Homo-oligomer: A and B are copies of this chain.
């Protein structure tokens, strides 16, 4: 029987979004459920997820669904699990057998991977990376995630956890403490939280006038708005963030020689402030063979659809 649809599921810390996607990458129906369940309530969440997929596919029919792709924090492609996901109460310090439970319940093939890997597959299937065989997806959100594609295949590594580029070292000595327990991780500088942290540090360290001083809580969005209004400190914060990213990217290129690095997520929207320093610093740190040859590109997926599309692309 022809199965012209897949379901994409994006498990986030607050909510889980899911949608039915056709071969052209159109989301034909979508819905959202709560992700916030207690430490012992993984099964309740998974039951709710399955019930929601049944309802979502009621009109089209589950028998028209080729597969279900799930993007989830610490999703392990090999094992079909969510392992020790810090921002999901029901998966913290635990191994949750997501794939086996959902596929048994719905009798449809299920695949899981982490959010950034899902984004990379989505980009390759429906977005900027169509036709590319070697690229790196960097997601600049609350954290910094990555999905690495080499020779047309997502890199999972020996254990399924490859591509943690947000936790490579950006600042070697006295780097910022990261949520992972290490110091100096790229994520502590180049995530939305990292940008806000830079703002607070720099405001504390100088008397320089800045519209950011008037705010009690500073978010990366505030820094973006200040930069857009010409605030010099805010503009320099993005230059600094871009430099940190550009240096890191140069090392990533030395590893896998990608055709492009694709940026996704909130910070990627700060393009006009962050893109030039990224490119300049990356090129300054590349071997001559790669200078000005590796593209830095924005995601080709609409922000609101990207997580569902990415997860769904796993299922084709």
Contacts and interface: CB of A to CB of B under 8 A. Distances in A.
A55 interface: no
A201 B74 CA distance: 44
Interface stretch (A13-21, A210-218, A254-262, A268-276): A254-262
A159 B250 CA distance: 15
Interface stretch (A30-38, A46-54, A285-293): A285-293
Nearest to A255: B255
A168 B254 contact: yes
A247 B169 contact: yes
A254 B181 contact: no
20 contacts: A133-B158, A148-B255, A150-B155, A151-B155, A155-B257, A159-B257, A159-B289, A164-B257, A167-B287, A168-B251, A168-B255, A169-B247, A169-B250, A169-B251, A169-B285, A172-B172, A172-B247, A180-B287, A251-B251, A252-B255
A71 interface: no
Contact of A288 (B168, B181, B251, B258): B181
Name A's interface SS: loop
Contact of A287 (B156, B182, B289): B182
A290 B84 CA distance: 13
A80 interface: no
Interface residues of A, number: 43
Contacts of A159: 257, 289-290, 293
Nearest to A286: B182
Interface string A136-161: 00000000000010110101111111
A146 B302 CA distance: 38
Given A158-B257, A161-B289, 11 more contacts: A84-B289, A155-B255, A158-B258, A159-B289, A163-B254, A163-B257, A165-B255, A167-B287, A182-B285, A182-B287, A252-B255
A60 interface: no
B156 A257 contact: yes
Given A247-B172, A285-B182, A257 B150 contact: no
Interface string A276-307: 00000000010111100100000000000000
B162 A255 contact: yes
B162 A256 contact: yes
A275 to B, nearest CB: 21
A42 B151 CA distance: 32
B168 A171 contact: no
A51 B83 CA distance: 59
A168 B259 CA distance: 18
A157 B134 CA distance: 6
Contacts of A150: 150, 155, 157, 162
B155 A153 contact: no
A167 B253 CA distance: 10
Contacts of A156: 151, 257
A290 B167 CA distance: 12
Contact of A134 (B158, B250, B256, B257): B158
